[in-house]
Amino acid sequence: MTLMYWQRDLETMPRDPLRALQLQRLQDTVARVEACVPFYQSQFASTRFTAAELRTLEDVRRLPFTTNADLRNHYPYGLVAVPPNRLSRLHTSSGTTGKPKAIFFSQRDVDQAAELVARCLIMVGATADDVLQNMMTYGLFTGALVVHYGAEKVGLLVIPAGPGNSERQLLLMRDFGTTLFHCTPSYALYLADFMERHGVDPRRDLKLRKALIGAEAHSEATRAKIEASLGIQAYNSYGLSEMNGPGVAFECEHQQGMHLWEDHYLLEIINPDTGDPVPDGDPGELVLTTLCREAMPLLRYRTRDITAIIPEPCPCGRTHRRLRRITGRSDDMLIVRGVNIYPQQIERILMAVPELGRNYLIELDGLDEMTIKVELSPAHFDGHVEHLVQLESRLVDKIRAEILTKPKLQLVAPGSLPISEGKAKRVIDRRVL
Ligand code: DLL
């Protein structure tokens, strides 16, 4: 039988009681960090704030922000709120430079993270009959383990495949009748390409029906490409290590924005430059406060992810508000010849062109020279040269209209660009700035 909800009362709770629950959990969280996290004690002391003053949800704005740098500066144990013997799991999130961020879980945090993933799986129609192939990286990254535990809770058969080795992935899919898979959108694209190059027709040869794709920004055009090439539905999954990893926000069957589990996270969207709230529906930076995390609660964490609230209620009946697809991270932004560019803007154009394949790379050299290398689709690789020349100039025009700068474009053979295990590396910046 297909369940509609995993925790119906919580998922469909009317807004007023939901806000009351949030307030009570926020007050508990703030009182706890005030009592036992020296980092927050000194933050509160410098702003002369005491937990007892927090009376409404809007009072959250009186709390200090917590940033990426705070986690790194207090690495490894500086933000832990429980005694060491209550810690049961460590995950890390590595940025591009420096030390990783250490994220601790208590046993209750591990259970709660799994419950939230279970909600997400049920929300997209998973059942105990499904076989989930988990192609995220197992280890310090939250992506694989947190989903693994949630899927086991729902009773799915989980194949802990890990990433890479596409031949073996296909073998597992065939032999064990995989129906759902979990990976990054870039790997889903790569796998679709791999199947096409190896004569595998997923509709004929496999039992795939759905995919959970997340951990990196991707456009609607990318989702459409994954769905069309594999004959599945792909759901956008958002999360970050600091908030348990996956299972923070997830699409329902309507695929119109991701429900953020508001009984666990208090959500704000701010103007990243001023820190002020933006009106509902306007884009800005997502700021999250944990409401249930035990080992390492975080107040007003600056995610750097740019999104917007969808204020309208969702037809699925869940009352937790939805977020629009993440359009990029404020720190992913490239400045090329004085123009702000998000790699996503380029991806959106490339993925909507049927002649193109599924992998691309943006290279920046010298003084703002941009080269975009993009694979052709296997079906178009042998196309006529003059057709490719036309395609190239059509694409350059489209990209220039979007990013206001003219890139060099190189159309390359399918499968010739590097792929990374885990999150895709789409930009190589070698500029001498
Ligand atoms: O990527 C957690 C995760 C694993 C989410 C598996 C979904 C699936 P981190 O490594 O800490 O954690 O990276 C978090 O990745 O702040 C976003 O910038 C980006 N990100 C995650 N999911 C999405 C998404 C995991 N669906 C950072 N769309 C976040 C866009 C995403 N960006």
pLDDT tens for 284-316 read 999 999 999 999 999 999 999 999 999 999 999
Spacing, Cα 249 to ligand 1 middle (Å)? 10
Question: In this structure, what DSSP letter does residue 388 have?
Answer: H
Spacing, Cα 171 to ligand 1 middle (Å)? 28
Q: What is the 3-state secondary structure (H, E, C) of 125-169?
A: CCCCCCEEEECCCCCCCHHHHHHHHHHHHHCCEEECCCCCCHHHH
Residue 433 has pLDDT above 80, yes or no: no
Helix (H, G, I), strand (E, B) or coil at 346: helix
User: CB of 250 within 8 A of CB of 264?
Assistant: no
Same domain? 313 vs 338:
no
Same domain? 222 vs 356:
no
Spacing, Cα 142 to ligand 1 middle (Å)? 10
Band of residue 422 on the pLDDT scale cut at 50, 70, 90: confident
Count Cβ atoms below 10 Å from residue 33 Cβ, excluding itself. 25
Same domain? 341 vs 262:
no
User: Using CA positions, which residue lies closest to atom 31 of ligand 1?
Assistant: 216
Residue located via tokens 């306007």: 282
User: Using CA positions, which residue lies closest to atom 14 of ligand 1?
Assistant: 240
Determine the Cα angle at 407 with ends 403 and 409, to 5°: 125
Which H helix or E strand runs over 188? helix 185-197
Domain end among 329, 346, 368? 329
Sheet of 408-412, strand order:
408-412, 369-376, 356-365, 427-429
CATH assignment at residue 353 = 3.30.300.30
Spacing, Cα 404 to ligand 1 middle (Å)? 28
Spacing, Cα 236 to ligand 1 middle (Å)? 10
Assigned token pair, 116: 């939230």
Assigned token pair, 322: 């939805």
Exposed/middle/buried for 289, CB within 10 Å: 0-12, 13-18, 19+? buried
Same domain? 268 vs 282:
yes
Residue located via tokens 């709120």: 81
The two beta strands, 233-240 and 408-412, are unpaired
Spacing, Cα 53 to ligand 1 middle (Å)? 34
Determine the Cα angle at 257 with ends 191 and 267, to 5°: 120
Band of residue 331 on the pLDDT scale cut at 50, 70, 90: confident
Assigned token pair, 199: 């004569």
| pLDDT tens, position by position, 357-405 | 989 999 999 989 999 999 999 888 876 777 888 999 999 999 999 999 9
The pLDDT assigned to 328 comes to: 86
Same domain? 110 vs 236:
yes
Domain end among 287, 308, 329? 329
The pLDDT assigned to 196 comes to: 93
Spacing, Cα 392 to ligand 1 middle (Å)? 32
Query: Cα dist. 256→18, 118, 267, 321, 401 in Å?
Result: 22, 20, 18, 11, 27
Same domain? 76 vs 217:
yes
The pLDDT assigned to 237 comes to: 98
The pLDDT assigned to 215 comes to: 96
| pLDDT tens, position by position, 227-285 | 999 999 999 999 999 999 999 999 999 999 999 999 999 999 999 999 999 999 999 99
Spacing, Cα 116 to ligand 1 middle (Å)? 15
Band of residue 2 on the pLDDT scale cut at 50, 70, 90: low
Domain end among 329, 349, 368? 329
Exposed/middle/buried for 207, CB within 10 Å: 0-12, 13-18, 19+? middle
Band of residue 417 on the pLDDT scale cut at 50, 70, 90: very high
User: CB of 60 within 8 A of CB of 289?
Assistant: yes
| pLDDT tens, position by position, 185-242 | 999 999 999 999 999 999 999 999 999 999 999 999 999 999 999 999 999 999 999 9
Total domains in the chain come to: 2
Same domain? 267 vs 131:
yes
Spacing, Cα 54 to ligand 1 middle (Å)? 30
User: CB of 163 within 8 A of CB of 183?
Assistant: yes
Same domain? 302 vs 339:
no
**Residue from 148, 326, 327 whose mutation best tests the ligand 1 pocket (most atoms within 8 A of CB):** 326
The pLDDT assigned to 388 comes to: 87
Cis bond before residue 76 (omega within 30° of 0): yes
User: Using CA positions, which residue lies closest to atom 30 of ligand 1?
Assistant: 217
pLDDT (mean) for 67-85: 96
User: Using CA positions, which residue lies closest to atom 1 of ligand 1?
Assistant: 215
Same domain? 325 vs 378:
no
Same domain? 88 vs 208:
yes
**Residue from 216, 258, 288 whose mutation best tests the ligand 1 pocket (most atoms within 8 A of CB):** 216
Ligand 1 — pocket residues by CB below 6 A?
93, 136, 142-143, 214-217, 236-241, 245-246, 303, 305, 326, 329
Helix (H, G, I), strand (E, B) or coil at 377: coil
User: Using CA positions, which residue lies closest to atom 25 of ligand 1?
Assistant: 240
Using the atom order of ligand 1, give the atom closest to the CA of residue 217. Answer: 30
| CA 411 – CA 357 distance, rounded (Å) | 10
Assigned token pair, 143: 């992506």
Count Cβ atoms below 10 Å from residue 329 Cβ, excluding itself. 16
Residue 1 has pLDDT above 60, yes or no: no
Q: In terms of Cα–Cα distance, which of 81, 69, 104, 91 is closest to 302? A: 69
The pLDDT assigned to 384 comes to: 73
CB crowding 136-164: b at 16 or more within 10 Å, else e? bbeeebbbbbbbbbbbebbebbbbebbbe
Band of residue 421 on the pLDDT scale cut at 50, 70, 90: confident
- Domain of residue 130 covers 1-329
Question: In this structure, what DSSP letter does residue 76 have?
Answer: T
CATH assignment at residue 254 = 3.40.50.12780
User: CB of 374 within 8 A of CB of 412?
Assistant: yes
The pLDDT assigned to 379 comes to: 83
User: CB of 262 within 8 A of CB of 22?
Assistant: yes
Same domain? 322 vs 342:
no
| pLDDT tens, position by position, 86-112 | 999 999 987 655 678 999 999 999 999
Same domain? 42 vs 142:
yes
**Residue from 91, 305, 342, 348 whose mutation best tests the ligand 1 pocket (most atoms within 8 A of CB):** 305
Spacing, Cα 308 to ligand 1 middle (Å)? 16
Determine the Cα angle at 14 with ends 8 and 215, to 5°: 60
Amino acid in position 17: P
Assigned token pair, 9: 């009362």
Residue 82 has pLDDT above 80, yes or no: yes
Assigned token pair, 114: 């799994």
